[in-house]
């Protein structure tokens, strides 16, 4: 087998980021030995730690490293110690800078219920068994980026906070295509989520998504308003295959979808552009309440590494092996605290990582 070489930018970030990243890199090293893949990991600062050390949440050197890499593994950023900073200086700003800087407009957030974790969910087993859905979230537009934005003071001295939800037709068209393509490869059902009963931006969204229908005749398209979609996700999640939506609605619905799987600690994501390296990160945040205790669930980060292999590096065999190892560890009964149920074996973050590594062999 000829060895393939990849440069991976590693951005652990804040809170549990460094814990879940460390175990993920060990697993990738082992996977590399098995599949003749040579990873060069280069670590860089992002988020709160970057603010503390450089004064900037996304130092230019970090963005440069990312641009020169084949893929980017990100932990999470943010935490209470940086919460009082003005919006444009906060750690979370680094995410927006990275996403827009690399033009990563398509965010794939798959929520798949492992049969072993049906008991770990707060929903009834018959409601969530077999759920396997994909949220396609637009990531470089919408209310996160629209202008004007800011806190303004009017002539009367009253402050006014402003964000603008705006989408250009071309932005809707390109995320719509990603979603239709994904649905075509999966179960051929696409649900577009908007708020077209009240928002003009959503009316254009619906119009542009509808315009793609003739190009994907095999895919059945439906539309839901976001409030109903939030309700349907916990009422009858099995009805969904692919869901496509804007930046803010996708952020909220993907956290909700995560809970179908038992924990937000289970949900990976891939952020992709038309070209260039993607960012692969868990959907969850820095979990300040459990940081530094070796109790975080590393599986979302590990499954994000599997998405890096699959979508970023076209290493499908290694991606399959990693996902199979995760399933096997769950089958063997190992659980971090967030997915623990009676009769299973409680492990910490490092313990879970070690089990996944062992299951690879």
Ligand X SMILES: NC(=O)c1ccc[n+]([C@@H]2O[C@H](COP(=O)([O-])OP(=O)(O)OC[C@H]3O[C@@H](n4cnc5c(N)ncnc54)[C@H](O)[C@@H]3O)[C@@H](O)[C@H]2O)c1
Ligand Y SMILES: CC(C)[C@H](C(=O)O)[C@@H](O)C(=O)O
Question: Of 6, 112, 167, 195, which one is the catalytic site residue?
Answer: 195
Q: Which two tokens stand for residue 193?
A: 């989520």
Residues 83, 86, 89, 94, Cα dihedral to 10°: 60
Give the binding range for ligand X (CB under 6 A) out of 59-67, 75-83, 100-108, 313-321.
Answer: 75-83
Do 44 and 106 form a contact (C-beta atoms < 8 A)? Answer: no
Pick 78 or 278: Cβ nearer ligand X: 78
82 is known to lie in a ligand binding site: yes
- Tell me whether residue 146 is exposed, middle or buried, using C-beta atoms within 10 angstroms of its C-beta: 0 to 12, 13 to 18, 19 or more: middle
Nearer residue to ligand Y within complex by CB, 92 or 338: 92
Question: Would you put residue 40 in left (φ > 0), alpha (ψ -120 to 50) or beta?
Answer: beta
Partner from Mg ion, ligand X, ligand Y, none contacting 265, C-beta within 5 to 8 A by type: ligand X
Does residue 19 bind ligand X (CB under 6 A)?
no
Give me the least distance between CB of 20 and ligand X, in Å please: 6
In the list 9, 10, 77, 259, the residue contacting ligand X (rule: CB under 6 A) is 77
DSSP string, 267-317: -EEEEE-SSS--EEEESS---TTTTTTT-S--HHHHHHHHHIIIIIS--HH
Counting contacts by CB under 6 A, is residue 138 touching ligand X? no
Q: Which is nearer to Mg ion, 307 or 330 (CB)?
A: 307
CA distance 160 to 83: 20
281 binds Mg ion (CB under 5 A): no
The HSE-up count of residue 235 (CA atoms within 13 Å, CB side) is 6
Q: Which two tokens stand for residue 214?
A: 């003739």
User: Candidates 107-115, 119-127, 194-202, 282-290 — which segment interacts with ligand X by CB under 6 A?
Assistant: 282-290
Q: Is 176 in the site for ligand X (CB under 6 A)?
A: no
Give the nearer residue to ligand Y in terms of CB position, either 95 or 196.
95
The DSSP output letter for 198 is T
251 is catalytic: yes
Tell me how many residues contact Mg ion (CB under 5 A): 1
195 is catalytic: yes
Whole-angstrom CA distances from 323 to 104, 268, 291, 309, 310 are: 24, 11, 25, 11, 11
Which of 14, 70, 194, 251 is flagged as catalytic? 251
294 is an annotated ligand-binding site residue: no
Residue 227 marked in a binding site: yes
Site of interaction with ligand Y (CB under 6 A)? 78, 92, 95, 251, 283
* Interaction between residue 158 and ligand X (CB under 6 A): no
| Catalytic residue status for 30 | no
Sign of CA dihedral 19, 21, 24, 29: negative
Q: Which residues contact 1 (CB under 8 A, 6 or more apart)?
A: 35, 36
Question: Which one of the listed residues 26, 132, 173, 255 is annotated catalytic?
Answer: 255
Q: Which is nearer to ligand X, 92 or 323 (CB)?
A: 92
Q: Which of these, 236, 240, 264, 243, lies nearest to 338 by C-alpha position?
A: 264
Q: How many CA atoms lie within 13 A of 281 on its CB side?
A: 27
Q: Residue 298 CB, nearest distance to ligand Y (Å)?
A: 17
Among 92, 171, 241, 251, binds Mg ion (CB under 5 A): 251
How many other CB atoms sit within 10 Å of the CB of residue 86?
Answer: 8
Encode 79-141 in three state secondary structure: CHHHCCCCHHHCCCHHHHHHHHHCCCCEEEEEEECCHHHHHHCCCCHHHHCCCEEEEEEECCC
Catalytic residue among 6, 14, 70, 144: 144
Nearer to ligand Y, 15 or 348 (CB): 15
**Comparing C-alpha atoms, which of 355, 334, 358 is closest to residue 345?**
334
Contacting ligand X (CB under 6 A), which of 12, 32, 57, 78?
A: 78
Which residues, 285 to 324, sit near ligand X by CB under 6 A?
Answer: 285-290, 296-297, 300
Q: What is the contact surface with Mg ion in residues (CB under 5 A)?
A: 251
The contact set with ligand X (CB under 6 A) reads: 16, 76-79, 92, 95, 264-265, 281, 284-290, 296-297, 300, 338
Binding-site residues for NAD(+): 79-92
Binding residues for Mg(2+): 227, 251, 255
Q: Which residues are catalytic?
A: 144, 195, 227, 251, 255
């Amino acid at each position: 087998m000829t060895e393939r070489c990849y440069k991976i930018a590693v951005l652990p970030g804040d809170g549990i980021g460094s814990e879940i990243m460390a175990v993920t890199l060990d697993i990738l090293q082992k996977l590399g030995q098995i599949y003749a893949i040579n990873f060069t990991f280069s670590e860089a600062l992002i988020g709160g730690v970057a603010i503390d050390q450089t004064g900037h949440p996304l130092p230019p050197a970090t963005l440069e490293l990312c641009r020169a890499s084949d893929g980017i593994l990100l932990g999470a950023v943010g935490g209470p110690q940086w919460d009082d900073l003005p919006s444009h200086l906060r750690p979370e700003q680094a995410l927006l800078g990275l996403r827009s800087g690399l033009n990563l407009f398509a965010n794939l957030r798959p929520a798949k219920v492992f049969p072993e974790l049906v008991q770990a969910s707060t929903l009834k087993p018959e409601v969530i068994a077999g759920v396997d859905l994909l949220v396609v979230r637009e990531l470089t537009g919408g209310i996160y980026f629209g202008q004007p934005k800011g806190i303004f003071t009017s002539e009367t001295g009253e402050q006014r906070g402003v964000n603008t939800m705006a989408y250009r037709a071309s932005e809707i068209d390109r995320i719509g295509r990603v979603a239709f393509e994904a649905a075509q490869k999966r179960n051929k059902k696409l649900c577009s989520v908007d708020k077209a009963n009240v928002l003009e931006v959503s009316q254009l969204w619906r119009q542009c998504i509808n315009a793609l229908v003739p190009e994907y005749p095999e895919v059945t398209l439906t539309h839901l308003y976001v409030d109903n979609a939030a309700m349907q996700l916990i009422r009858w999640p099995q009805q969904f295959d692919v869901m496509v939506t804007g930046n803010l609605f996708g952020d909220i619905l993907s956290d909700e979808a995560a809970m179908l799987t038992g924990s937000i600690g289970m949900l990976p994501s891939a952020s992709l552009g038309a070209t260039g390296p993607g960012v692969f990160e868990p959907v969850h945040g820095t979990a300040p309440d459990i940081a530094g205790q070796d109790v975080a669930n590393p599986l979302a980060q590990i499954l994000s590494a599997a998405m890096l292999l699959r979508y970023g590096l076209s290493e499908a065999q290694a991606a399959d092996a990693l996902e199979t190892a995760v399933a096997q560890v769950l089958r063997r009964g190992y659980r971090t605290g967030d997915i623990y149920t009676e009769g299973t074996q409680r492990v910490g973050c490092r313990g879970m990582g070690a089990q996944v590594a062992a299951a690879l062999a």
